[in-house]
Structures are given as structure tokens and as C-alpha cells.
Amino acid sequence: MRTVRPVGLLLSAAAVVLWAYGMTTWQPLTEPLGPWSEHLPGNNAYWARDLRFMAIMAVPLGLVLAGRGQVRWGGPAVVLGGCWIAADVAIDRADLIGSDATVLLAVGGCAVLGVVAAILLWWDRRTPPATNRRVLTGAACVAGVLTLVAAGMESPTDREPELNQGALATAALLVALAVGAALAAAPARTRVRVGLAVGLTVVALLGVGLVRATAPGTRLLPEVALGAVLLTGVTLLAWDWPGGRPIWWHHALAALIALVGPLVFLAATAILMMIMMPIGATFTSLAGNSPIHAADSDLLVSLAGLLAGLGMAVLLARPSVDDRRQLR
């Protein structure tokens, strides 16, 4: 467990740097027409915003991992993520561009993260935390579903090389968080589980690459396969193995849920956001960017991924055969 805390903090810091780069390098690519242009953009025009928001979501996920799933880490982490989204909108409106702005945002963001982490670490010195396996497994599920969203990100043209770079980097970070949180939720760090974690990471990263290599509009099947493998792997890592062996029919059921669940949750959330809650359009307006054409929809797929991930967490975050057992 000595490695859990630094790994979680390191992944959060990496997410901060990725967010800073996305804000100053990728976001300007999605605004070539300037604010409130007469030529309105189409679906997925603001792909950089979604990648950036998922990097922001990775910050609290890393803190949850560092805090071993405890509420005293998770609560402040969620608040920090919400405040970061608000700051992101304000910075987006300011249109910061260039390497100097990247360094400024990265250093400032890491400083904020460092202050929050220092306070939480000081708090932990008073009463050492126990591991909350259910929260960690839920965090792994959220990161797993966000991986699918990041890997499948598209734009109106799909010709930007930066889109592939951003999607690969964001998805790889989320894979690391999903596998790390699942392994931290395991009842024991055995060689078998560690080997499984390494194998799952490699397979998931290859799956992300396969999704990106598939032509836009035809990525559904590799995305479904990636989600099924990654989320089933999360259950194999995090759940109990009574007698030293997995209960295979439990994981077969989890695989079926992982195959269907993310698509159902993503579709339901997307429909809800398009019909009842124009959240994407609100963020676009607050940031001072051109609205999406009326014939298209301004869908914030990163938020849909977060909500779908929470739905999957409700279904799969049951790591212990007996929840009353204290395994740490």
C-alpha cells in the first residue's frame, strides 16, 4: 500500500499537465472561426473541451486512489474537480495560447493540487485511513467508462493529428487510473493479481490504439470490446477470490453487464442531455465560443461518460463477498 498514495498523486499531477496542454494547444484548434462567428460549427466541434474535462475528472480520481477510497479524500476531491471545471470555463474565455501559458497553467494547477494533497496528508496523520474497497472499485469503473469516451472521441473533420494525440494520451491516463484503483481495491496484492493488472493495462492500451485506428463512424464494436475487457478486468482485480480462485460465473455476469451497460447508460444520458438539459450549449456560451449549429447537438460527452461511469459503479462496485469484512 506504500505505492498507492504516490501513484495516485502522480496520476493526478499528470492529469493537471494534460489539462494545461489541452487548454493552450488543443482548444485553440477548435475555435478557428472566433467567438460567435456567422459560420457555426457542427457536432463534436469542441472535442478539445471534452478531452480537457476528462483530464479534470482524472484529478479527483487520482486523489481518490491516493486516499485509498476514503470519504475524507473523496469529498474534497469532488469539490476540487467542480471548482476546476468553473476555472476551466473562465480560462477558456480568456483564450490563453502558447507554451508560456501551458507552463503557467501546469505549474499553477500542480501548486493547487499540492496544497490540497498536503492538507489531506496532514489530516491522515491524525487517524490513518482504512481502505474503502467499494469506492476504489467504483472509481475504477468511472475511469474505465471514461476511457471508452476518450478513445472514441471524434470531430467534424477527424483530420486533426492533435485529436489522435489527445485522445490517446487521455485514454492512456484513464486506463492507468482504472487499473490502479482496481488493484488498490484488491484484498491482497498477490503476484497473480499484479500480473493480471499488467496484462490488463497492455491489452487496454492496445484496445485504445485499435479504436483510434478504426475509421470514424465505425468505432462502436472496438469500443464495446474495449469496455467489456477493461471493466471485466476491473472486477477480476478488485473482487474477492474465495479459496484463492475467482467465482467465474460472477465475472461472466459482470462481463455481460460490461458489454451492454456502458452503451445503455451513455445513450440514455446523451438523450436526456440533448432533450431536457442543454448543458453543452451552456458551457459553450459561458466560454464565449461559437454555438453549435441548430441542426446539430452540442453534447458534452465527457459529462455523459462520467454519469455512465457512475451507473456502472453502482452495478459493479461490489468487491467483497462479505461487505462486513475489514481487509485492511
pLDDT digits (tens, 9 = 90+) for 63-112: 999 999 999 899 999 999 999 999 999 999 998 888 899 999 999 999 99
Please give the grid coordinates belonging to residue 269: 444520458
> pTM for the full model?
0.93
pLDDT digits (tens, 9 = 90+) for 238-276: 999 887 788 888 899 999 999 999 999 999 998 887 777
Please give the grid coordinates belonging to residue 46: 469542441
Q: Which residues contact 67 (CB under 8 A, 6 or more apart)?
A: 5, 8, 73, 74, 77, 120, 124, 129
- CA torsion sign, 154 to 218 to 177 to 85? positive
> 29-33, 38-42, 291-295 — which is least confidently predicted?
38-42
pLDDT in the model for residue 271: 84
Please give the grid coordinates belonging to residue 178: 482504472
pLDDT digits (tens, 9 = 90+) for 183-197: 999 988 889 999 999
- Closest among 261, 272, 319 to 131, alpha carbons compared: 319
Residue 14: pLDDT over 80: yes
Q: Which residues contact 273 (CB under 8 A, 6 or more apart)?
A: 279, 280, 299, 300, 303, 304
Mean pLDDT, the chain, whole residue set? 89
Identity of the amino acid at 256:
L
CA pair distance 199, 162, nearest whole angstrom: 28
Q: Are 239 and 252 in contact (CB under 8 A)?
A: no
pLDDT in the model for residue 268: 92
> 6-20, 125-139, 311-325 — which is least confidently predicted?
311-325
Q: Percent of the chain scored above 90 by pLDDT? A: 68
pLDDT in the model for residue 110: 97
- CB atoms inside a 10 Å sphere around CB 1: 9
Domain coordinates of the chain in residue numbers? 4-316
CA angle 35, 58, 256 (to 5 degrees): 110
CA pair distance 256, 103, nearest whole angstrom: 44
Q: Percent of the chain scored above 70 by pLDDT? A: 93
